[in-house]
């Protein structure tokens, strides 16, 4: 097994924050213009060899386009069936607002006027992107994707796609249980399927260090938290509810991949019964 499967992210915090900030701008295009999905999948990115791509967006005159965040080359790219139509280098030191102005203007040339929410991306702070550091970060993303996909491929049942969410820059997929849960949102009662995600976060305000996670919903603490998790993983019931396995101890560990898969399998075995009809409270 490759010792560098989980490379160190030390010194890449600012690189991650810069890429995240630009991804929020790029992600506004499918958020505003792609066909809405009830699970919000239309706002997410998919990992491909040369970066992150958005969902397809229909053009007014026919055809499709998608957005790509090319992390290796440091570019925002608009691609149609005819090929690359627009590229913006992310090494210019532009602020998110400056990138948004250029990108949204280019999209408008296709006759598409979206309602872009500036609260999701707005900032006048110039951002610097070092391509050598971006490539190091990208290697970690790709290697993590291979491990999450291995778990995805071996998980039976109703699964969502493996994708990266612009708001948290985390990568995850969902498994859906047979239990139905009523949830009140904006004064309306909606029924949702129970679910269990499995993913990886490069770090966020409540937990700045990178970590793997698996969070059942609903979270039946009384049926879960009394059970031990492997390899130092732990249950979380604070700013969010679920389970967490730290990434940093796995750096350079030849058993790192297996430890992540052990963690995911243990949480699944414990949580799945609580997410099936008759299994919860």
Residue 183 has a CB neighbour count (10 Å cut-off) of 11
> Is the confidence at residue 104, as pLDDT, over 60?
yes
Among 2, 43, 73, 17, which residue's Cα sits nearest to residue 210? 17
Among 199, 26, 240, 52, which residue's Cα sits nearest to residue 134? 52
- Give tens-digit pLDDT for 115-160: 999 999 999 999 999 999 999 999 999 999 999 999 999 999 999 9
- Give the global pTM: 0.93
Q: Which residues contact 153 (CB under 8 A, 6 or more apart)?
A: none
- Give tens-digit pLDDT for 168-206: 999 999 999 999 988 777 788 888 899 999 999 999 999
Instruction: Report the SS3 class of residue 7.
Output: coil
């Amino acid at each position: 097994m490759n010792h560098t499967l989980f490379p160190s992210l030390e010194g890449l915090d600012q690189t991650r924050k810069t890429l995240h900030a630009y991804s929020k701008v790029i992600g506004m295009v499918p958020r505003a213009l792609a066909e809405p999905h009830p699970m919000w999948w239309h706002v997410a990115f998919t990992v491909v060899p040369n970066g992150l791509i958005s969902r397809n967006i229909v053009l007014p005159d026919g055809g499709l386009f998608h957005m790509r965040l090319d992390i290796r080359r440091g570019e925002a790219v608009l691609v149609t069936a005819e090929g690359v139509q627009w590229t913006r280098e992310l090494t210019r030191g532009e602020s998110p607002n400056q990138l948004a102005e250029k990108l949204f203007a280019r999209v408008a040339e296709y006759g598409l006027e979206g309602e872009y929410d500036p609260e999701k991306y707005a900032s006048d702070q110039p951002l610097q992107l070092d391509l050598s550091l971006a490539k190091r970060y990208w290697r970690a993303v790709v290697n993590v994707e291979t491990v999450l996909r291995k778990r995805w491929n071996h998980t039976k049942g109703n699964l969502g796609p493996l994708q990266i969410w612009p708001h948290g820059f985390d990568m995850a997929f969902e498994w859906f249980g047979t239990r139905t849960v009523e949830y009140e949102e904006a004064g309306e009662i909606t029924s949702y399927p129970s679910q269990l995600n499995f993913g990886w976060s490069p770090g966020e305000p409540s937990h700045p260090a990178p970590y793997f996670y698996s969070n059942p919903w609903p979270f039946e603490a009384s049926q879960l938290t009394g059970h031990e998790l492997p390899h130092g993983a732990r249950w979380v019931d604070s700013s969010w509810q679920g389970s967490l396995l730290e990434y940093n101890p796995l750096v350079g560990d030849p058993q790192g991949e297996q430890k992540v898969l052990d963690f995911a399998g243990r949480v699944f075995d414990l949580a799945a019964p609580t997410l099936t009809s008759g299994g919860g409270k």
